[in-house]
Amino acid sequence: MTDRAQKPLPPPTMQERAAAARAARTLHAVIADHTRLGERNVMHIDMTRPRRGVWIERWSGVPGLCRVNGQYQHDLLPGWSYARAEIKAEMIPDLEALAERGELPMVATSVSGR
């Protein structure tokens, strides 16, 4: 098998950038007032092996945000996960960079969550 260069992702669309701006504003609002989270939806996926399963949580007031086995993820930042402490310090700035400059995160800024 030959090594090939990774194909770069297409640049974010204006709709994705606008959605990222809304997501960043929503997360700021939820941090200021936790009642804005909305209804929590929980799903458990049980794998065939014992002790293997996935817990997924989503909130109606924060579209795109989910917690999978304790790590937070956002639909607009595929492949990245964040610890709870990293939401304000890293996830929101990543969403703002996507909204303002169309930049997706390229390098993990901490070793604990990503």
User: What are the distances in angstroms from CA 44 to CA 12, 53, 57, 83, 106?
Assistant: 31, 7, 9, 20, 30
| Residue-wise pLDDT tens digits, 5-17 | 777 778 899 999 9
pLDDT for res 112: 52
**For residues 51 and 59, which has the higher predicted lDDT (pLDDT)?**
59
Model confidence, pTM: 0.82
Residue ranges of domains in the chain: 14-101
Q: Are strands 65-68 and 71-74 parallel, antiparallel or unpaired?
A: antiparallel
| Residue-wise pLDDT tens digits, 16-58 | 999 999 999 999 999 999 999 999 999 998 887 777 888 999 9
